[in-house]
Homo-oligomer: A and B are copies of this chain.
């Protein structure tokens, strides 16, 4: 584990340039081997190799224009399995998506299994949710799987402490996360050097290898968060994520953690807040200097009949929409809002029609992605504080 290889190229795996700043909020361009991503960016979650209920053509359309999506290592590793994806040429070719992909490490998913997993220094043993078989995930295994997937941004394998974890418990977890970060880095570098990554694409002055992000843990303990950040930065990564939030803690704890961390994070590298959150959470975190987000809310809630709108959440099942010919959101210009009424969407949902999930997911993603477009535009023009205030007031005005 002590071998740190020299990568054969001195070119970076990605390039991040900050183009405009308004307070702590910043607009940047994140150049990966598969194109340029405008930040702040929201990444739709494509757990098993599909952003649920949405076709890739729609993700690429002007309506959504998602520049990067996320894949879950845990799910893809268990099914269809790495040999299948490798033999199909990596995750991009397997699913038919040419734009950028970020994969998580599987750490959060195995942590979520609760009693079904056992964590040791070496890694995490757990039972597969697919077939009950005993599996083992470690920094080395996670890096190997993510190399086979060929994602453009790889996440280190981390340990997530529960939102309410004690200081002692969290301290141990943070220590383990730091050791796993180092092991992830070494395993990753070895594999990149050996050319194991199936998804190499040369893009301008980038190395064409995968990028690796570190993850800061520490639950709600600000002192441990700072230690975790310091230890993660010492290892050195292409970007830094804040993990272990939105896992049951109070929202104020989440924003305390973000506010205490971001001023200490490397200024010239991308900052990624994992698994967060509502549209309002996104805007607030941008105000603290966060650049990247992923969350299942727009897709998952779309499938359960909840729409995010500029005036708050809307439950499509509500009887008051039975004959309402207005779109979901009168301020939204997405394909769904241009074409379909609340009455029709309610009917589809009550009839159990798949099209309800399809259309609500589309609208919700459009709303999240449009929000980020609005955020970027307002930062560029120096109007972000106004945007933030008006966005929040409008959301609160008319929510259900």
Contact = CB atoms under 8 A, between A and B. Distances in A.
A55 B335 CA distance: 11
A3 interface: no
Nearest to A357: B354
A178 to B, nearest CB: 34
Interface in A62-107: 75, 79-80, 84, 87-89, 93-96
A52 B84 contact: no
A48 B343 CA distance: 13
Contacts of A50: 348, 353, 355
Given A88-B325, A93-B325, 5 more contacts: A50-B355, A57-B335, A80-B346, A80-B351, A95-B344
A54 B244 CA distance: 38
A40 to B, nearest CB: 27
Contacts of A226: none
Interface in A344-367: 344, 346-348, 350-351, 353-355, 357-359
Nearest to A339: B96
A343 B88 contact: yes
A14 to B, nearest CB: 26
Nearest to A338: B96
A16 interface: no
Copies in the complex: 2
A56 interface: yes
B344 A79 contact: no
A340 interface: yes
A57 B62 CA distance: 14
Nearest to A76: B347
A341 interface: yes
Contact of A347 (B84, B341, B355): B84
Interface of A: 48-50, 52-57, 75, 79-80, 84, 87-89, 93-96, 322-323, 325, 335, 339-341, 343-344, 346-348, 350-351, 353-355, 357-359
A325 B89 CA distance: 9
Contacts of A96: 339-341, 344
A72 to B, nearest CB: 11
B354 A80 contact: no
23 contacts: A49-B347, A50-B348, A52-B354, A52-B355, A53-B358, A55-B355, A55-B358, A79-B347, A79-B351, A80-B350, A84-B322, A84-B323, A87-B323, A88-B323, A88-B341, A88-B343, A93-B325, A94-B341, A94-B344, A96-B340, A354-B354, A354-B358, A358-B358
Contacts of A353: 48, 50, 52
Given A79-B351, A325-B88, A358-B358, A344 B49 contact: yes
